C-alpha cells in the first residue's frame, strides 16, 4: 500500500452503500494481529454484530472516526464488537499501540495481514480511510461506508440491528 494511495484516499469523503441485509456476503476467514502480536480472527468476532473501522493513525479523518466509534459504542443498549484495523505496516505496531492507549479506546486495534494491507484481503479493496464495515453475527458483511460522513449512516445501521438505545 503506497503513501500516495492513502493520501489520495483520505481526502475523499464518499459514502459507499454496500449490501443490505438481504444481499449480505459471507467473507472468507481472516486473521489479523493485535499490536502485541496476538492473533484476532473472524471466529473471534462471530456471535455479535461487528463494526470494523479501517483507518490510519496519521490521517485526520481517521482520527475523528476512531474517536466517534469509541463514543458510539458507549451509547449502545446491547453489546457489539468494535475493531479498528490500522492500514499500516507491521513495524508500526508500537505506534498503533500508543495511539490506542493515548485515546483510551474501548476496542482493540489490529494490524492487517499482508493481503489486506496490499488491498487483496477478505474485505476486498479498502481504498479510502476511514472505511467502516458492519458484519452480522455470522460474519457476513451487511454494510460498508467510507468517510467521516458515513458515521450518520452507520448509526442508522446500528439502530436497524437493534443495537442502540434510540429506536
Give the pLDDT of the chain (167 residues) as one tens digit per residue.
443 334 334 433 344 444 333 467 889 999 999 999 999 999 999 999 999 999 999 999 999 999 999 998 888 777 889 999 999 999 999 999 999 999 999 999 999 999 999 989 999 999 999 999 999 999 999 999 999 899 999 988 987 887 654 43
The phi, psi pair for 122, rounded to 5°, reads -65, -20
* The three cell numbers locating residue 45: 468476532
Q: How far apart are CA 159 and CA 118, in angstroms?
A: 33
pLDDT of amino acid 65 = 96
> What structural domains does the chain harbor?
1-9+59-167 (3.40.30.10)
The dihedral built from the CA positions of residue 96, 2, 24 and 154, taken in this order, carries a sign that is: positive
Round the CA-based radius of gyration of the chain to a whole number and report it.
15
pLDDT attached to residue 14: 40
Note the pLDDT of residue 163: 60
| pLDDT of the residue at 139 | 93
For residue 43, count other CB atoms closer than 10 A to its CB: 12
State the pLDDT at residue 73. 87
CA atoms within 13 A on the CB side of 100: 19
pLDDT of residue 8: 32
User: What does the angle CA 153 – CA 104 – CA 130 come to, to the nearest 5 degrees?
Assistant: 35
Residues 143, 70: Cα–Cα separation, whole Å = 19
String of DSSP letters for 51-101? EEEEE-TT-HHHHHHHHHHHHHHTTBSS--EEEEEE-S-GGGHHHHHHHHH
Task: Look at residue 22 in the predicted model and tell me its pLDDT.
Answer: 43
Q: CA dist 25 to 76, 119, 137, 143, Å?
A: 25, 18, 12, 10
Q: Are 58 and 91 spatial neighbours (Cβ–Cβ below 8 Å)?
A: no
pLDDT of residue 10: 41
Amino acid at each position: 500500500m503506497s503513501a500516495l494511495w492513502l493520501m489520495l484516499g483520505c481526502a475523499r469523503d464518499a459514502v459507499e452503500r454496500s449490501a443490505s441485509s438481504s444481499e449480505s456476503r459471507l467473507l472468507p476467514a481472516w486473521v489479523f494481529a493485535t499490536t502485541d502480536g496476538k492473533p484476532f480472527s473472524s471466529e473471534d468476532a462471530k456471535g455479535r454484530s461487528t463494526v470494523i473501522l479501517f483507518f490510519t493513525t496519521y490521517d485526520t479523518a481517521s482520527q475523528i472516526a476512531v474517536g466517534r466509534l469509541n463514543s458510539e459504542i458507549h451509547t449502545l443498549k446491547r453489546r457489539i464488537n468494535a475493531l479498528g484495523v490500522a492500514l499500516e505496516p507491521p513495524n508500526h505496531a508500537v505506534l498503533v499501540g500508543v495511539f490506542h492507549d493515548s485515546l483510551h479506546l474501548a476496542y482493540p486495534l489490529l494490524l492487517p495481514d499482508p493481503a489486506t494491507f496490499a488491498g487483496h484481503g477478505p474485505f476486498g479493496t479498502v481504498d479510502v480511510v476511514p472505511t467502516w464495515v458492519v458484519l452480522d453475527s455470522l460474519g457476513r458483511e451487511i454494510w460498508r461506508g467510507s468517510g467521516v460522513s458515513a458515521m450518520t449512516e452507520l448509526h442508522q445501521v446500528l439502530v436497524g440491528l437493534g443495537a442502540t438505545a434510540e429506536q
